[in-house]
Amino acid sequence: MRTGIFPGTFDPVTQGHLDILRRAGSVLDRMVVAVAAGYHKDTLFSLEERLDLCRRSVGDMKRVEVKAFQGLLVDFARECGASAIVRGLRFVSDFEYEFQLALMNRRLVPEVETLFFMPSPEYSFLNSSVIKEVARLGGDVSGLVPPPALEALKGKFRA
């Protein structure tokens, strides 16, 4: 069984994340959404909230698990028996950083490949930071995040 790891902070999970996850799931047998526990970014949502939002957002997807991880992603990939790390590439500017990560991961664990997926055009501009900023300023992000994330954002930014 070919398992892929889809890592991120998912703060919050977006339709762009789910788009990549669905398409990666059509190529791989099993997907693990790896929610980063300790990260260099300040998050709006706690780890428990991000795990819950991801689980509720992928609830209808078959062969998808949501787990927290910390430390090296490649160590977590080994623990999960993964053969691939799934990453999204929105812009050319993403490529340089992602390429460096992929090469380092390959050096650390050569048997785990990195697979890059481009988002569908309607989600190519999305990232969680933009979603949070628009939601914080009262903008409508419905359709850009799954319903659980939309409700959670409304709860965080309610005046």
Q: Which residues are catalytic?
A: 17, 41, 90, 128
CB count within 10 Å of CB 24 equals: 20
Place of tokens 């991880």: 69
State the Cα–Cα distance between residues 59 and 61, nearest whole angstrom: 6
Distance of CA 116 to the CA centre of its chain: 13
Q: Using DSSP, state whether 140 is helix, strand or coil.
A: coil
- Spell out the SS3 assignment of 20-54: HHHHHHCCCCEEEEEEECCCCCCCCCCHHHHHHHH
Q: Using an 8 Å Cβ cutoff, are 39 and 9 in contact?
A: yes
